[in-house]
Amino acid sequence: MLSINKINKQALIEYEDFLFMYVEEEEAFDSEKIYYVDAIIINSTQTRLFEKVLRITRTHYDAEIYLKPIFCVQYEGLPLQVMERCDGLTDVTQYQKIARTTREIKTNIEKLFLQQKFPSNEFGVLYKAMQYLYTRNHDLMPFVDRHARLSYTYPFVSLQLEDEEQDKILDILKQGVRDGFLREEQVLDKIHVCDACHSAHHNIRETCLHCNGIDLKVQDLIHHFQCAYIGPETDFMQEYTDDLVCPKCQKILRHIGVDYDKPSHIFNCNTCNEHFQNPVFTFNCIDCGKVSDIRHLQEHLIKRISLAAKGKQLVLSGLPKKNYKSKSSSKEVSGVYELSVFKNILKQEKARTAFNPGRTFFGKVTIVDVQLNSISWKEKMILRDELAGELKSYLKDYDMVTAVSIGEFYFLKLECNQGKLEKISELIVFNLEALVKSNVKDSQVVVSVDTQAVFHDQKIEL
Amino acid sequence: MDFIIEFFKYWNYAGAGKIIRIFWYFIFFEFGRYIVLEFWVLFVYWLSRKKRAEDWEVAKQALYNEMPLISLIAPGKNEGKNIYKLVKSLNEQTYQNVEIIIVDDGSDDETPMIGRNLEKNGLIDLFIRNDMRGGKASAANLAWRYSRGKFLLHLDADCSFDRTAVENIIIPFYLDPEIGGVGGNVKVRNGDASLCARLQSIEYLKSISVGRIVTSYLGIYRIISGAFGAFRMDALKKVGVWDIGPGLDGDITVKLRKSGYKIHFEPTAICLTAVPTKFKVLWKQRLRWSRSLVRFRLRKHLDVFLPDKNWRWSTFLGFVENIFYNFVLDIKWYIYIIDMMVNFSSWIWFLIPMNLALYMVAGFMQQLSLSLWSERSEDERVLWWYVPLMVFYVAFFLRFCRTLAYFKEIFFKASYRDPWNPQKSSYQALKNGY
């Protein structure tokens, strides 16, 4: 039974016992409603709309959202990055097929242990990838994507990381394979990435051995058998005729293999006027401009990945508690500093913002929970370190965190914008609350994050 | 014992007239040329040592004032194992304004890999590989084509050089501006490898180290060795660089002479080379070398005997000396043997020991002059023990080899079928009279 309703431009389709969100226009897409629907159907040729829907759903912190099925109505010329990343191509009459796929995915999602806290961001990405593979019941097949930094996009997984972090995908998947959660199935390609920015986009050039110049001219060498003269083709060429004439004995070269041959070639560099036979191949990174030779590029294999039995077991039963405690219980988390050190860094950062204002943010995380008083001092210290580590895991390597007490943390987020910061804050609130709840009995925790841009003339109370 | 007494009695009774009749070949041609003439020239050369040393210093100063770029070229095939040693030796030279060019003439060993590596690491300036072999001359011509120096040094890849070799081979160009080419002093590096190599060590010392001082002094020096020879770049261009070999080093020397340039031998420019250690290999090498006498002296450059605008006494005499001592006397030797067999057959057992004794005495006299001139006389002292064997080596091994080579070249033009050159080149050379 099919019924179509529209709420504030957003079309919703009821079919059997499923509710599908039907998206045709970017303006009509209501992201709030994705909580209530079973799947999303996109009927548009706009790649931008598809990207938007995909990013909002797949990067959500809630597993039921980020694993939600997304379908596309098939059009001729639909880009590969759309086709490869949706859960099926369809047409508007194939609701039965959509319903069947949705049911399979939903059934699989229901079997999952909805883990919400991970020892690290990277493990979170790996875990989500395993969830995705389990619910879709097929392998992770990377596809060529000229917009991707690695030239390959991994469906679902690529979206879990920021653009500048895309190179981590390969490490995350390799770690998954090493830990036995994933299995490498087939080598699809080999890529070479820049050792500075990890981009696989290069301009490959033949360059001069002596000056690295690119203005090269290659010529055949001609060997005249009769007099043993050998030189570049231009030595033999005439100004007004097409004849080849030997500059040594003035004989006309008539027949290759009989009078002469071309035993080799030679390059001439028009920049430094040097000659050589073997130019150097240099790789000019399109993204960062670094010039390298092949020895300095990092080689990676692109492989089809499947979910191993151990990975399947993990997503069904969830992480053992000690696993996601292990890292955060360490007191030496990189980027977590003493308050005094943090204050000094903040001071320096304020001075720096005079030249680069509006890109650095100071954040204060407040954790309020009366039940925290019921745990021992030692447990409080451990939990404080865990919370600091957890907080740091949602920030970059160069960001800084300090723990004032179990209820108060400060962080400094560099090179960021307001939109990103809000997203990160949302994640922090959700995950810190989950961490406190999993460690404190009857917790009624409330986590809040207050942020402000740092300016050089601004006073920040600590 | 009785034989020795009889032997001395016989020669005592024979008298000077009969001795001259029997040993005319040795007395007039060999003793006169290789002992009397050489000792006289070396003595005169020694007397002029002070003047030469003064001129040398002036020329050296002129070289260092100008500091011209010198192109060092090493064309070759399957020389991979020698290239690094060659380059190392060149990098040690006292004269450093050089460019090193190595041409690989279609090697099927590891030469391309080694050459490219040396080029990439800046140890040589240019490495060119011909995928199809064109022969030694074309490889040398290719190196010349990309040379930028004022002077060009042609080197064999299996050679190594004294630290002053490059400097010393260039200085003569500043002694006399008419000099177009300078030959280096090639000595044997692997002399202790075998008897064959020991004998060649003595031979090289005699025919190159000392022999060429004499011919150069007399102005009839005729071969700038391909292993180590220097040329003025403009002179090479004028004579049209190298033609198809074998024997291209002698050929280009004649071409330079015919174009009016002087040729000089420099004994202090020392190069060490590896010689064949087996007689079988040496036999093949000498067949190839000897064939070039017929091909180049008797065929291609026979015009040096005809008076024209470039005719010179020195070139003419050099040719005459070369042809007479290497070709005419080679044939004459067989006539001499027949003469002895026919006219002195009953005394042959006295003739042979006397002949050997005369050649051995001459050999030791030559060895004495070598040790006086050589800068490595201490190292070469061991060669004295091998001097008696040189009689057999020169009289029989080298002579038979030469005779066979002349015969094959005169009647069958064997040099055009020598695998040393690719067939495509040899065919064209034969067809067009090169």
User: Are both A202 and A257 inside the same structural domain?
Assistant: no
**Which pLDDT tens digit goes with each residue over B380-392?**
889 999 999 998 9
Query: By CA distance, what is A268's nearest residue in B?
Result: B146
Q: For residue B203, give Cα distances in angstroms to A418, B189, B207, B389.
A: 91, 13, 6, 11
State the CB neighbour count (10 A cutoff) for residue A204: 10
For residue B141, give both structure tokens. Answer: 């011509």
CA distance B409 to chain A (A): 20
pLDDT value for A79? 78
For residues A266 and A221, the answer to whether their CB atoms sit within 8 Å is yes
Q: Give residues with Cβ within 8 angstroms of A164, minimum separation 6.
A: A149
Distance between CA B103 and CA A334 in Å, rounded? 58
| B430 contact A CB<8A | no
| Total of domains in chain A | 4
For residue A51, give both structure tokens. Answer: 């990207």
User: Are both A332 and A445 inside the same structural domain?
Assistant: yes
User: Are both A102 and A170 inside the same structural domain?
Assistant: no
Q: What residues in B contact A221, CB-CB < 8 Å? A: 128, 130, 142
State the CB neighbour count (10 A cutoff) for residue B234: 10
Does position B20 have pLDDT exceeding 80, yes or no? yes
In the predicted model, what is the mean pLDDT of chain B? 90
**Quick one: pLDDT band at residue B303, thresholds 50, 70, 90?**
confident
pLDDT value for B100? 96
Distance between CA B177 and CA B292 in Å, rounded? 29
User: Are both A60 and A133 inside the same structural domain?
Assistant: no
**Does residue A458 form part of some domain?**
no
pLDDT value for B313? 85
pLDDT value for A392? 87
Query: By CA distance, what is B429's nearest residue in A?
Result: A226
pLDDT value for A261? 93
Distance between CA A75 and CA A43 in Å, rounded? 9
Distance of CA A262 to the CA centre of its chain: 50
Q: Residue A425 burial by CB count (10 A; 0-12/13-18/19+): exposed, middle or buried?
A: buried
CA distance B311 to chain A (A): 23
With the C-alpha atoms ordered A88, A94, A98, A103, is the resulting torsion angle positive or negative? Answer: negative
Q: For residue B413, give Cα distances in angstroms to B52, B405, B423.
A: 44, 10, 14
- Could you tell me the pTM of the whole model? 0.69
User: Are both A185 and A299 inside the same structural domain?
Assistant: yes
For residues B44 and B52, the answer to whether their CB atoms sit within 8 Å is no
**Does residue A233 form part of some domain?**
yes
CB contact under 8 A, B434 and A278: no
Alpha carbons within 13 angstroms on the beta-carbon side of residue B419 total 2
Q: Best-predicted range by mean pLDDT among A443-447, B118-122, B150-154?
A: B150-154
**Considering CB atoms only, which of B129, B139, B429 is closest to A226?**
B429
User: Are both A195 and A214 inside the same structural domain?
Assistant: no
Distance between CA B100 and CA B95 in Å, rounded? 13
Local mean pLDDT, 10-residue blocks, chain A (462 residues): 62 84 82 83 85 87 88 80 81 81 91 80 89 92 89 90 82 90 93 90 92 93 93 93 92 91 94 92 91 88 93 87 47 69 82 78 89 73 84 85 86 86 89 87 89 82 73
Q: What residues in A contact B421, CB-CB < 8 Å? A: none
User: Are both A290 and A165 inside the same structural domain?
Assistant: yes
Q: Which residues pair with A275 in a beta bridge?
A: A268
Q: What residues in B contact A209, CB-CB < 8 Å? A: 119-120
Alpha carbons within 13 angstroms on the beta-carbon side of residue A24 total 7
State the CB neighbour count (10 A cutoff) for residue B108: 10
**Which pLDDT tens digit goes with each residue over B52-85?**
999 999 999 999 999 999 999 999 999 998 999 9
CA distance A145 to chain B (A): 36
E-only strand ranges, B156-261: 159-161, 179-188, 228-232
**Does residue A459 form part of some domain?**
no
Query: By CA distance, what is A250's nearest residue in B?
Result: B240
Q: Which of A235, A231, A213 is nearest to A223 (CA)?
A: A231
CB contact under 8 A, B243 and A230: no
State the CB neighbour count (10 A cutoff) for residue B156: 22
Q: Which helix (H) or strand (E) holds B350?
A: helix B348-373
Q: What residues in B contact A275, CB-CB < 8 Å? A: 126, 146
End-to-end C-alpha distance for chain A, whole angstroms: 61
Distance between CA B391 and CA B356 in Å, rounded? 7
Give the rounded percent of residues in chain B with a pLDDT score beyond 70: 100
User: Are both A373 and A406 inside the same structural domain?
Assistant: yes
User: Are both A193 and A227 inside the same structural domain?
Assistant: no
Q: Which of A319, A346, A370 is the last residue of a domain?
A: A319
Q: Residue A146 burial by CB count (10 A; 0-12/13-18/19+): exposed, middle or buried?
A: exposed
| Angle (CA) B175 B179 B184, round 5° | 85
**Does residue A224 form part of some domain?**
yes
Q: For residue B308, give Cα distances in angstroms to A118, A367, B283, B312, B313.
A: 100, 112, 38, 9, 12
3-state secondary structure of B217: helix
Q: Which helix (H) or strand (E) holds B269?
A: strand B262-273
For residues A160 and A271, the answer to whether their CB atoms sit within 8 Å is no
**Considering CB atoms only, which of A209, A257, A264 is closest to B130?**
A264
CB contact under 8 A, B137 and A228: yes
Range with lowest mean pLDDT among A355-364, B97-106, B362-371: A355-364
CA distance A231 to chain B (A): 6
Q: Which amino acid is at A238?
A: Q
Alpha carbons within 13 angstroms on the beta-carbon side of residue A192 total 14
**Which pLDDT tens digit goes with each residue over A188-243?**
999 999 988 889 999 999 999 889 899 999 999 999 998 999 999 999 999 888 89
**Considering CB atoms only, which of B119, B133, B146 is closest to A209?**
B119
| B425 contact A CB<8A | yes
User: Are both A217 and A264 inside the same structural domain?
Assistant: yes
Does position B345 have pLDDT exceeding 70, yes or no? yes
Distance between CA B181 and CA B238 in Å, rounded? 13
Q: How many residues does chain B have?
A: 434
Q: What residues in A contact B141, CB-CB < 8 Å? A: 228-231, 248
For residue A44, give both structure tokens. Answer: 């548009």
For residue A315, give both structure tokens. Answer: 């997503």
Q: For residue A206, give Cα distances in angstroms to A203, A261, A276, B116.
A: 10, 26, 12, 16
**Which pLDDT tens digit goes with each residue over A338-392?**
777 788 888 888 887 877 777 888 999 999 888 887 776 667 778 888 888 888 8
φ, ψ (nearest 5 deg) of residue A107: -60, -45
For residues A247 and A236, the answer to whether their CB atoms sit within 8 Å is yes
Distance between CA B247 and CA B245 in Å, rounded? 5
CB contact under 8 A, A229 and B141: yes
pLDDT value for A67? 92
Which residue segment(s) compose the domain that A12 sits in? 1-111
For residue B261, give both structure tokens. Answer: 């340039």
User: Are both A286 and A137 inside the same structural domain?
Assistant: yes
For residues B245 and B216, the answer to whether their CB atoms sit within 8 Å is no
CB contact under 8 A, B134 and A226: no
**Does residue A238 form part of some domain?**
yes
Q: What residues in A contact B244, CB-CB < 8 Å? A: 227-228
| Angle (CA) A109 A111 A112, round 5° | 70
3-state secondary structure of B225: coil
| B296 contact A CB<8A | no
Q: Does the domain made of B65-283 have the CATH classification 3.40.50.300?
A: no
For residues A335 and A380, the answer to whether their CB atoms sit within 8 Å is no
CA distance B91 to chain A (A): 19
Helices (H), B293-347: 313-323, 329-343
Q: Which amino acid is at A340?
A: S
Helices (H), A33-179: 47-58, 63-66, 80-83, 95-111, 121-136, 168-178
State the CB neighbour count (10 A cutoff) for residue B307: 9
pLDDT value for A330? 42
| B107 contact A CB<8A | no
Q: For residue A173, give Cα distances in angstroms to A122, A123, A441, B308.
A: 10, 10, 35, 86
From the candidates B105, B145, B431, which should be mutated to test the interface with A, based on the most A CB atoms within 10 A?
Answer: B145
Distance between CA B86 and CA B92 in Å, rounded? 10
Q: Which of A70, A87, A111 is the last residue of a domain?
A: A111
CB contact under 8 A, A261 and B132: yes
Q: What residues in B contact A231, CB-CB < 8 Å? A: 141-142, 145
Q: Which residues pair with A230 in a beta bridge?
A: A223
Q: Which of A94, A111, A128 is the last residue of a domain?
A: A111
**Considering CB atoms only, which of A226, A257, A278 is closest to B432?**
A226
**Does residue A448 form part of some domain?**
yes
End-to-end C-alpha distance for chain B, whole angstroms: 59
From the candidates A211, A227, A282, which should be mutated to test the interface with B, based on the most B CB atoms within 10 A?
Answer: A227
For residue A358, give both structure tokens. Answer: 């509006």
Q: Which amino acid is at A157?
A: V
**Does residue A382 form part of some domain?**
yes
Q: For the domain that residue A72 is a member of, what is the CATH number?
A: 3.40.50
Distance between CA A79 and CA A101 in Å, rounded? 22
Q: Residue B388 burial by CB count (10 A; 0-12/13-18/19+): exposed, middle or buried?
A: middle
User: Are both A309 and A197 inside the same structural domain?
Assistant: yes
For residue A271, give both structure tokens. Answer: 């920049």
Q: Give residues with Cβ within 8 angstroms of B5, minimum separation 6.
A: none
Q: Which of A214, A218, A229, A230 is nearest to A277 (CA)?
A: A218
**Does residue A440 form part of some domain?**
yes
Residue of A82 and B148 predicted with greater confidence: B148
Domain positions in chain B are 2-44+314-429, 65-283
pLDDT value for B401? 94
Give Dmax (Cα) for chain B. 76
Q: What residues in B contact A232, CB-CB < 8 Å? A: 145
3-state secondary structure of B268: strand
Q: What residues in B contact A230, CB-CB < 8 Å? A: 130, 134, 138-139, 141-142, 145
Q: Give residues with Cβ within 8 angstroms of A322, minimum separation 6.
A: none
Q: Which of A108, A223, A199 is nearest to A147 (CA)?
A: A199
